[in-house]
Structures are given as C-alpha cells and as structure tokens.
Structure 1
Amino acid sequence: MGKFQKGFFVGAATAAHQVEGNNIYSDCWAQEQLKYSIFQEPSLDAVDHYNRYQEDIEYMADAGLNAYRFSIEWARIEPEQGKFVETEIEHYRNVIRCCREKGLEPFVTLHHFSSPLWVIQKGGWESEDVIQYFAEYVEYVMKKLGNEIKYVCTINEANMGLQIAAIMERQKRQEKANTSRRKEEGQQVQLGMDSEKMEENERLGAEENERVFYTATPQTFCSSRTEQGDFIVMKAHQKAVHIIKELYPEIKTGLTLSLHDIQPQPGGEERAKAEWEKEFTHYLPYIEQDNFLGVQNYSRSRIRADGIVPAPEHAELTQMNYEYYPEALEHVIRAVSKQFHGDLYVTENGIATADDTRRIAFIEKATDGVASCIADDIPVKGYFYWSLLDNFEWHRGYTMTFGLIQVDRKHGMKRQVKPSLAYLGQLCPDK
C-alpha cells in the first residue's frame, strides 16, 4: 500500500533541453556555443533521452510510478518561424503513447525555459510579439496532440525571470561581495544559474550576442526580466490556455511557479510579505481560472529586514548550495492553498546530491508533508520528483546530480537505476 490514495499521481519530471540532446535550433544551444558563454559546458547529446525515452519510461513503470512530466521542445517543432516539423510532432506523440502503454499519465509542459533562436532574434520575452508566436506554436501542437493528453502545463516557472532580476540587482549593488555572499545568492534561485558568470559575460559578450541574437542583450526566458516582461509572460499563458480550452475544453491546464518557503525572521515580516507578493501573490489574477497550479520548491528563504539570511552555520547544503530542508514543500503548499483554490500538483521537488540515501530521506520527509496537507483537505493531486535522470543542469552543466537514474555519458549513456527510484515507486497508490 502506497503513501497516497488511488487517483494520486506519483512521478518524475524532465525538461527537453536538459535530457534530449542536440536541440540545435534553441537559444540555449546558441548560448552554449559562445566564446563568452554563461554555460560551463555545452549540452551536446545531453543524456540522449530523445532516442532512449522508451528505456527511461520503462524504468519508471517498473518502479511503480504512474505519471511522467516532460516538455515539448518548441525549437524542434518550429525551428524557423512558421515552419512546423511533422516528424518532431510524431516523436512526441510516440513519447505520449509509450507512457500510456506503460501505465504512466503524461503531463506535458509546452515551454520549459528554452525557446527557438528566431524568437529571441525577434525580441524574445520582453517583446509583446512573443505572445502571438507562442500562441501559434501552442495551437499547432494542440491540434496535433490534444486528443492524446489530459494535463498541460503551459509555461514552466513563469516567475523565473523576476527571481533572476532580483538576484542580479542585488549582485550589482554588492560588486565587492565576498565568495560566501555569492554562495548565499546562489541559494535564492531554483535554477542551475551562475549569476557571477552572467554578470561578467554581459560585459564581454555584447559583440558576440549582436552577431548571434541581433542584440547585445538577448531576452531569453531566463534573462533578467522587467515588470513588463513579466506581464507579457502572463498574457502568453492566458492566450495559450484560451487556445487549449477552445480546442479541448476537457484538458486540465495550468502553469508552474518557482516558490520558496519564505520564512520571516524577527523584524523581517514586511519584507517577507513583499517577497511572497512578488514571487506568488501578484500572479493570482492571471491564474485564478486555471484548473491547477504546479508548485515547484527545493528549499526555504529566511528573510530579515535587511534581506536574505544565510543558511544556518552548520546546515547541510546540497550540491546547488541550497539548504537541505525538505519541510519547505509542505509549508509552501499550505501558503499557496490559502490563496489559490484550484488543484495543486508538486511538479518539481528534489535534491542534487551524490548520496542517494539523503535523496531518499528528502523524498520521505517531503512527501510526508504532502500527505499531511491532503489529510487537511488541501487538494494536492500529484508529486513529481525532479529529476528522473542526472542531466544537464543549465549553467552548471553536468555537475549537479538530481536524478533517480545515473547516466554514464562517457560509456554509451549507460543507465544505472538508483535505490531512490524504487523508493519513490513504493509511495504510489496501488493500481
């Protein structure tokens, strides 16, 4: 008997650019090739999930999972504006059908950080034109695949750009900050981001960016975002939902947000409230009609009147320099449920560590918190661990190991299932 009741989804998550390999038409791929790249290394073949998805889905099914969250790569579907590639749609159709054959419910994300290069060359995510570009892509995908799926996340971590903007602003005010301060900043964004390198390359790479992106400051989805850009992302989400509902009213739609467990320290109550408003509350008018919200959490953020408090002196830190704090997930779910009244799915929660026993302990504690929320009638309907595979963690490359499955990239991409995958499967309701 699993920890959760029948109808609850227990799964794992991936993102196309991080696992597929050779997404050569995307903005991330272009950034990886630059001399002054913000990426530590290029993604290249990633972990070859594009060709090995059947094997990876079978691992999940064998462990007992009943759902898989993955993303469709826009740059594969539409490598040039208006040029849609039918063979790529068929690839994702095959992924969806493989999930169904193995007893896993597919949760499809339409945008997970990476965009086609041409979108960025035309102004990117600070241009209102992107709303229509995204809408045309969404309409094409849904007309082709909508009858195959029941759950769609339009945009992953729609608030990421504002989180990055806040970090970059703090860093600019503290150019002489020491290393420990920079490590502290690294804990405040739930993305494999190297903010110091971003700042340096902003200076060095302007000419290179002009050549590749047609602007010295390309506005990718993970660029530092303005309030206007934040509004554009929300309008893109709303238009996507409208299109999906027009075509398939029964499909459950929503987006996901990167959410910290914001804990005010004495004197920091007002600042903590402002942080939560920027991270979550101000999105409510744009998502209140959505069927669900995807909650994505990895740790907590303690706030004083003068800003973020570093992790306690002897706290355990993950490879990402996050504080090991699985209790954060329950706290975030409870906070969100007070203001958002649709269904909740934990679409990402996990830990980067080389010690799989700590991963298992993290999953156990985090899912205990989920079960506690459900016992209090909070409508949490699923838990997706991040990530299925050790993969390409954006700026950090292949150094961060979040996966339930290890991948030996030097020896034919051989998979090695970790005990944590079987543990996660044991939490799944009996089928």
Structure 2
Amino acid sequence: MLPFPDGFLWGTASSAYQVEGGNTNNQWWLFEQQPRPEGSGIWNGDRCGLACDWWRHAEQDFDRMQQFHLNAHRLSVEWSRVEPAPSCFDRAALDRYRQMVGELRDRGITPMVNCHHFTNPIWLEVAGGWERPETVHRFQRYVHRVVSALADLRPIWLTINEPLVYLGQGWFRGIWPPFKRDPVAALRVYRHLLLAHAAAYHTIHALQPDALVGYAKARRLFTPARDDHAGDRLAAWLRRYLFEELWQRATQTGRILPPVGLGEYRADLADSFDFVGINYYSRSLVRFTPRPWSLFGQETFTPGAETSDSGRRGPYSELYPEGLYRLCLEARPLGKPIYVLENGLPDADDDQRPRWLLAHLLQMRRAMAAGCDVRGYFHWTFVDNFEWTEGWGLRFGLVALDPVTQERQARPSAYLYGDIARRNAIAREHVVRHAPGLLPLFDALSTATG
C-alpha cells in the first residue's frame, strides 16, 4: 500500500461552458453559430448545446462523485451568466452558483472555484475584450460579486485558468476567438490578464482573508527534439519561457516582463499566489525551423511513443507520465503548496486511462517522496464534456456521456480512481491488475515510504 497524506484532495475538474449547457451569452456560443472555413471550426461541426446539463442537474453528478469517494471538485463561474449586461448582475445566477457550491460542501466535497475559464460576455467582447485596460476593473468588479456570494462557503479560489493558452490560441495562432495573429495586441492582453489576476487575488483575500488563492497554469514541458542541436534547444527554451515561465515569474517578482530589469513593476502582482497550480497533459518535442512566427520551432512527438485518442494533433498526444514528476520538482523551489489542477487523457474506450492514471499518480507520489508538497490531484474530467474546438470528439471523462440522451455510464477508470480515493492510497493490487509494468516503481516507492 502506498499511502497519501491525511486530507489529500482527490478531485475532478470542469469548466462552466463545457458542462452547464445553455450558455448563450458569451463569445464561444457566438463562435459556434458562425460558419468557419473548412478545418478552422469545431470538429464535426459540433455544438455545446445542453453540454452535461449541469445548470439544471449538476447535483446528480455531485452524487456520483460522492459515490466514488471523491472529496474535491474544481468548477468555474460563467461571467456572462453573472453579469449578462454591463453592471447588471443576475441575482438568480449567483444564487444557483451558491447552491452548487453548497451542495458540494453538503456531500463532503471541497469546492475549488475558478473565476475565468476562456469565456467572456458578448458585451465585453464588443467593447474590446481583454485588449482594453478597462477590462481589468470590470473583471475585478465581477469577481467581487462572485466572492461576496460564496465566501462564507470557504472555497479554494482560482483567478484565471491557463491565461497563456487563452492568449496563444486567440492572438498568436488565431484559432480561438477573437481569431487574431497580432503580437502587439497579445502583449496588451498579457498585461491586462496579469493585472486582472492581481486585482482578483487581492479582492478575494479582502472578502475571504484566510482563502487559498491561485491560478491554473498549463505546462507542456517543451523539450529539444535533439539534445545536441543548439537550434532545437533555443526553440524549446523560447516556448517554455513564453508559455510556461513568463507568467509564473511575473506573479513572483511583480515585473510584467521578467527577468528584464526595465520591465514594469507592480507591487500588487508580486507574490500573488498562495499555491502552485499545474495543468499537465503531455509534452512536445521541438525541432528548429527558421520561421519567426512559429517561434523558430516545430512541435513533434517521440517516434513510436504511445499516443491518446487525439493521435498526433493537439496538446494531449504523447503519454509521458514522468513529466508530472519533473514539473512538481520544478515547482518545489517556489516554497508553495502544489495542486495538480488538471491531468487527463482522451480515451473513449478506456483501454489506456487506468494504466495512464496509475502512472501519473505514481510519478506525483515520487515527487512527494522527493520533498514536493503536493496537496491535491484533480482529474480532467468527471464526465465527458464539450472540449472547445474538439467538440465532442475527445472523451476525457471517468464517466461516459451521451450528449443527446444525457445518459451516463461509469468507465472502469472511475472505479479505479474511486477506490484510490476511498483508501487514500494506491494499492499493489491496483498496479498488478491495471499496470504491472509499473510494479518496480510502486515497490521502490513503497519501500522508501516504509
């Protein structure tokens, strides 16, 4: 038996647009309604529609979480529901979020609430969105309303999910709203997102002083395709710095463009996180190309590596569990608790997920044995949901969903994860049954923790 510390959080993660259904007042819904050139829209022309029907019936899945012994869930609040028009706040929407968070608490499930997960009200987009400095104040005002409604329920808080994914997809690659490839505008958005995070961080602490507040940061572990190739090393470093380190360092040092000494300094931004939140799915190998727009690199995968249902496209491809160990070690010097806030696999037939799950949990436990203060793990996701431009084409759920009938069927990995959560430990029998190739690592960790 390989135990975890008392109070360890075994959770799942979701976002409002992907599970609630009926979200028709934000830019993603608008995107779904507009025709796009072939290959640039949502897979198979899918629509979010009813999603997982959580706005009406989330409690049914909360009951299932409880049945699987999960003790935490991460969810987000939809800005366009709370503030459907400028300065017009919907009391009924806030009451529904309060009900959802309270229902989690009633089931012994610790709620983690995220304030921004890729979606904006249409009115905000029309007003210029995150390219406009006024959005910082507007976001702070919205966060104040949300926290005022929920603070006494004592959730853990996230300000923003994957800010540089949002920025990169929308302003560098141009494949998400607002579909731009404009590095000057991207720099403005980056600055405004940082300032909005800082404003939200201090707003939450003013209303819930003992709150844990952080953000969810995507980590891809960009690696040179050829260790002995200077161009590959440069291209991999550039990606890691821009998309993984830049934001983290800014929230440590207070400098908008660290470590450049001439960068703008903001005292309210410095040390503006109480824990390190890691979203990790896969790694990419980077091979040098002479094209500046591609940041001098092309992303590839290890030849012969096992891949997920996404094949060779997207950020969920190569299965590389050791990456989670490496990322936890990188976070340890920050001196903050660590939460793995997203970690998942698109695997519709669940033939990989049990082994994949054990491999990642063992690598996380390996990091803990090396001194990393990991306090929770949130699997993406509990029930199949709408995966942005991949639509219903990628299935991440521990529970399978038919989005037409809303019927659910627990996959074998749900029972495995539930039993780990129930025991607060990985048992040898779990490894023997699902991933015998991992027995040497399991035995070594069991001996070390003795």
Q: Secondary structure at the match of 1:258?
A: strand
Aligned to 1:116: 121
In the alignment, is the contact (CA less than 8 A) between 2:280 and 2:324 conserved in 1?
Answer: yes
**Map 1:307-386 → 2, pairs under 5 A:** 307-321=297-311, 322-338=317-333, 340-386=334-380
Q: Considering only aligned residues, what root-mean-square deviation do their CA atoms show, in Å?
A: 2.2
Residue 179 of structure 1 corresponds to which residue in structure 2?
none
**Separation (CA, whole Å) in 2 of partners of 1:421 and 1:158:** 29
Structure 2 unaligned regions, length at least 5: 253-270, 290-296, 312-316, 425-450
Separation (CA, whole Å) in 2 of partners of 1:2 and 1:405? 25
Alignment pair present for 1:231 and 2:191: yes
- Offset from partner CA, 1:222-280 (integer Å, 9 cap, x none): x9961221111111000001111111110100111111122233223333222221122
User: In 2, Cα distance between the equivalents of 1:33 and 1:168?
Assistant: 21
Tell me what 2:251 maps to. Answer: 286
Cα deviation for residue 327 of structure 1 reads: 2.4
Of 386, 396, 407, the match for 1:392: 386
2:193 is the counterpart of 1:245: no
**Matched residue, 2:234:** 270
How do 1:65-80 and structure 2 match up within 5 A?
A: 65-80=70-85
Deviates more, 1:397-406 or 1:324-333: 324-333
Q: Give, in angstroms, the shift of residue 165 of structure 1.
A: 6.4
- CA distance in 1: counterparts of 2:49 and 2:151, whole angstroms: 30
Question: CA offsets, 1:345-393, max 9 Å, x none?
Answer: 1110000012313111111001111111111111111110001111111
Residue in 1 that maps onto 2:6? 6
Q: Distance in 2 between matches of 1:86 and 1:55?
A: 23
User: What is the alpha-carbon distance in structure 2 between the residues aligned to residue 289 and residue 43 of structure 1?
Assistant: 34
User: Shift in Å at residue 409 of structure 1?
Assistant: 2.3
Q: CA deviation at 1:150?
A: 3.1
- Give a deviation string over 1:124-160, Cα, whole Å, max 9, x none: 1111111011011000111111111231001000111
Change (3 A) 1:122 1:65: same
> How far is the alpha carbon of 1:90 from its aligned partner?
1.1
Whether contact under 8 Å (2:279, 2:342) holds in the other structure is: yes
Match of 1:150 among 155, 161, 184: 155
The AA in structure 2 aligned to 1:256 is A
Greater than 3 Å deviation, 4+ residue runs: 217-220
Find out whether 1:422 has 2:418 as its counterpart.
no
Q: Secondary structure at the match of 1:261?
A: coil
Counterpart in 2 of 1:62?
A: 67
1:145-191 residue CA offsets vs partner (Å, 9 max, x unmatched): 1111231001000111343368628xxxxxxxxxxxxxxxxxxxxxx
Alpha-carbon distance change, 427 to 224 in structure 1, aligned in 2, over 3 angstroms? farther
Q: Which moved more, 1:242-251 or 1:305-314?
A: 305-314
How far did 1:430 drift? 4.8
Task: Provide the residue aligned with 1:52 in structure 2.
Answer: 57
Structure 2 counterparts to residues 90-109 of structure 1, below 5 A: 90-109=95-114
* 8 Å Cα contact 1:120/1:219 also seen in 2: no
Q: Secondary structure at the match of 2:371?
A: coil
Aligned residues of 2:131 and 2:188 also touching (Cα < 8 A): yes
Per mean C-alpha deviation after superposition, the further-off stretch among 266-275 and 419-428 is 266-275
CA contact (8 A) 2:235 2:287 kept: yes
Alpha-carbon distance in structure 2 between the residues aligned to 1:362 and 1:371: 14
SS of the counterpart of 1:382?
strand
Supply the AA of the counterpart residue of 1:31: F
Q: Return the letter of the residue paired with 1:161.
A: Y
CA contact 2:117–2:161 (8 Å) conserved in 1: yes
Deviation at 1:316, TM superposition (A): 2.3
Q: TM-score normalized by structure 1?
A: 0.83
1:130 aligns with 2:95: no
Q: 1:326 deviation in Å? A: 2.5
Counterpart contact for 2:218–2:279, Cα < 8 Å:
yes
Equivalent-residue separation in structure 1 for 2:131 and 2:310 (angstroms): 28
Counterpart CA distance in 2 for 1:341 and 1:279 is 21
Q: How far apart are the structure 2 equivalents of 1:57 and 1:344?
A: 25
Cα distance change on mapping 1:315 and 1:378 into 2, 3 Å: same
> Which shows bigger deviation, 69-78 or 355-364?
355-364
Higher RCO (CA-CA < 8 Å; seq separation 6+):
1
Aligned residue pairs total 382
- Corresponding position of 1:205: none
In the TM superposition, residue 41 of structure 1 has moved relative to its aligned partner by 2.1
Verify the 8 A CA contact 1:2 1:428 in the aligned structure 2.
no
Counterpart of 2:306 in 1: which secondary structure? coil
Measured in 2, the distance between the counterparts of 1:315 and 1:280 equals 24
Classify the secondary structure of the residue corresponding to 1:420.
helix
165 and 150 in structure 1: CA distance in 2 versus 1, 3 angstrom threshold: closer
TM-aligned CA distance change 1:429 to 1:116, over 3 Å? same
SS at match of 1:319: coil
Q: Distance in 1 between matches of 2:422 and 2:4?
A: 5
SS of 1:226's partner is: helix
When structure 1 is superposed on structure 2, of 374-383 and 307-316 the one drifting more is 307-316
Identity among equivalent pairs (%): 29
The runs of 5 or more residues in structure 1 that have no matched partner are 170-194, 199-216
Separation in structure 2 between the aligned mates of residue 167 and residue 311 of structure 1, nearest angstrom: 22
What one-letter code is carried by the residue in structure 2 that aligns with 1:312? T
Instruction: Name the SS for the 2:112 alignment partner.
Output: strand
Counterpart secondary structure, 1:428: helix
Query: SS at 2:206's partner residue?
Result: helix
- Following the alignment from structure 2 to structure 1, what is the Cα–Cα distance between the partners of residues 298 and 151? 43
